[in-house]
Structure 1
Amino acid sequence: MSDGFLGGVVIGSCVIGVVSFCADVYVKYLILPGIEVRLKNCQIVIDAKRSWDNSGFIGRRYRLVAVNLALTSTELLRQKDLVDIDEVNSISVSQRRWICIPERAGVTAFIVGITALALLDKLW
């Protein structure tokens, strides 16, 4: 691969990472509280909110991870009585996307950017 192409991949990854971070901040402050209210009987969400409620930005990150787990690993958590399946099913598809997509896009952009930097021999 050419250096120009890999450089473009690095720049594109950085742009996607920044946009993903901005979307993640939006989700943490505007989408997350509404979903936590709707998941009021899910033990994993209750525990995360109780433990991390007064921890600012980092606490919201942990709470978002707990909600993401409740939405994506529902069957596993249901077997351990950590989620209420009816409440999880009441979350709309658009809200699920707001919770899951920015995080996955950011992680993917980071991995692609680091790989491109490694191929350019600019990482080490």
Structure 2
Amino acid sequence: MADFVLVSALVSVLFVAILQVGLTLHVRNTLISCASEGARLGARAGSSPQEGAARTRDLISASLSSRFAGDVSADVTVDDGVLVVAVRVRAPLPVLGPLGPDDGFDLVGHAFLEAQ
């Protein structure tokens, strides 16, 4: 009886830890996808990086939560002589469910600027 209690407690903690790692990876991958999509919109001819940042905020708010869309910025950078739109997302790291420190993720999505 005591063995069952000890082993089930350990298995339960392990299960919750695996779920939390899965949630963290899901949030990270979703943020990268939203940043890349916003960069592609901001890099289109006739568009601006600010439109890409706004689209990124909208996508993050729709797919995760507006808490993760608080710090989104976009600008044009030069990478090996090519103009690139970079959308940067700084979001909290979910440590305990969706809660966690505010400075967890710093992710960037890139896209080549069409008007070159």
TM-score range, shorter chain: 0.3 to 0.5
Q: Which has the bigger relative contact order, CA under 8 A and spacing at least 6?
A: 1
**Structure with the higher fraction of residues in strand conformation:** 2
Rg comparison, structure with higher value: 2
TM-score by length of 2: 0.34
